[in-house]
Amino acid sequence: MFQLSKKVEYALIAIRHMVSGGKGKIYTTKEIADRYQLPYELLAKIMQKLSKQGFITSYQGVNGGYMLVHNPAEMKVADIIHTIEGKPAVTIVQCESSSLEECSIHTTCTIKNPLIKLQSNLNKVLDELTVMEMF
Amino acid sequence: MFQLSKKVEYALIAIRHMVSGGKGKIYTTKEIADRYQLPYELLAKIMQKLSKQGFITSYQGVNGGYMLVHNPAEMKVADIIHTIEGKPAVTIVQCESSSLEECSIHTTCTIKNPLIKLQSNLNKVLDELTVMEMF
DNA sequence: TGGATATACGACTATTCCAGTCCTATTTCA
DNA sequence: TGAAATAGGACTGGAATAGTCGTATATCCA
């Protein structure tokens, strides 16, 4: 139920790798995929997303790769999840996401409002965890 | 990523319904399914699981149904999830579950240990939430 | 005692999501 | 100009989820 997807795992592994190697260094996707035996194409897409979102900067062409932008303490795991998954890390109730109309049982659903508190509690835990803590 | 399954949603709706109606009353699956427009057969299986686990007691035959056993404050949402899903609510890292051998990248995986703490934090949040809080 | 109503439960189907792959384009350097 | 890198869309296979179907069993009561 509450489990990280492979994509997020790979993203965390990659970022952690880049952090541990120093901030000014450029890393290629291939290098990281080889090092941790991750599927190259999948990792490539993950790196693209991280880059688009500004966690890392990309350099194309020969000798290109990715470079870390932020300090570990500035990268929240919640934001990384959001970036990779394309939606907030925690959306506890399925009908929560959007307008009430989209939930077929919204008129009779009794659990939505009470669970909002759970959602915010989970969010708090994820917001407090930065890449810094992963060492 | 962190979202309740339909089954768990239905379980919570059903339990909340039974709580709000009083403890000594018997409710049928059909009654609850109709009230909240939930698929009957699916809800039936959920009720069976809740019954097997002792959250509710079942009465077969005519005039049968289910009756609440515990007080709202005694029912942890985490336990309900575990019952319905058949596994702990939080298993944050996929390779975490069992012996290290089963994780293909365990020798190089750098994120597992740091995330154990996240797991316990999430567990704490879920353990503190009882059905009582859902009102 | 038989029919109606309820739970019990296994098997099956459909759909959605996830992980991974494939292919092509673009950028950059030497 | 060719090699090495990112960029990104399209596709596939498999697993998990949601939902359905069929049958057995228990119980009540007319």
Q: For residue B14, what are its two tokens?
A: 């059903």
Question: Average of pLDDT values for A96-117?
Answer: 64
Q: What is the CATH classification number for the domain harbouring B119?
A: 1.10.10.10
- Domain containing residue B43: 6-134
- Listed as ranges, the nucleotides of chain C within 7 A of a protein C-beta are 3-10, 18-23, 26-30
Residue closest to D21 C1′ by Cα: B41
Q: Look over chain A and give the mean of its residue pLDDT values, rounded to a whole number.
A: 89
pLDDT of residue A95 exceeding 70, the answer is no
Question: How is A45-113 classified by DSSP, letter by letter?
Answer: HHHHHHHHTTSEEEE-STT-EEEE-S-GGG-BHHHHHHHHHSS-SB--SGGGSS-GGG-TTTTT--SHH
Q: For residue B82, what are its two tokens?
A: 């575990």
What residue of B is the nearest CA neighbor of A6? B94
Question: What pLDDT, on the 0 to 100 scale, is given for residue A21?
Answer: 86
CA distance A86 to B23: 43
Closest residue by Cα to residue B89 from B103, B99, B77 = B77
CB contact under 8 A, A37 and B89: no
pLDDT, averaged per 10 consecutive residues of chain B (135 residues), comes to 95 95 92 95 98 97 96 95 95 61 58 87 94 90
Assess whether B119 (CB) lies less than 7 A from strand C.
no
> Is residue A1, in this structure, part of any structural domain at all?
no
> Is residue A11, in this structure, part of any structural domain at all?
yes
Q: Give ∠ CA B72-B43-B125 in degrees, rounded to 5.
A: 40
> Is residue A101, in this structure, part of any structural domain at all?
yes
> Is residue B93, in this structure, part of any structural domain at all?
yes
Question: What pLDDT, on the 0 to 100 scale, is given for residue A132?
Answer: 93
Q: How many domains does chain B fold into?
A: 1
CA distance A131 to A13: 10
pLDDT of residue A91 exceeding 50, the answer is yes
CA distance A44 to A98: 31
> Is residue A87, in this structure, part of any structural domain at all?
yes
pLDDT digits (tens, 9 = 90+) for B104-113: 555 567 788 8
pLDDT digits (tens, 9 = 90+) for A20-76: 988 889 999 999 999 999 999 999 999 999 999 999 999 999 999 999 999 999 999
The alpha-carbon gap from A13 to the nearest alpha carbon of chain B, in Å, equals 6
> Is residue B1, in this structure, part of any structural domain at all?
no
Looking at per-residue pLDDT, the higher value among A102 and B57 belongs to: B57
> Is residue B76, in this structure, part of any structural domain at all?
yes
Query: Over the Cα atoms of chain A, what is R_g?
Result: 18
> Is residue A24, in this structure, part of any structural domain at all?
yes
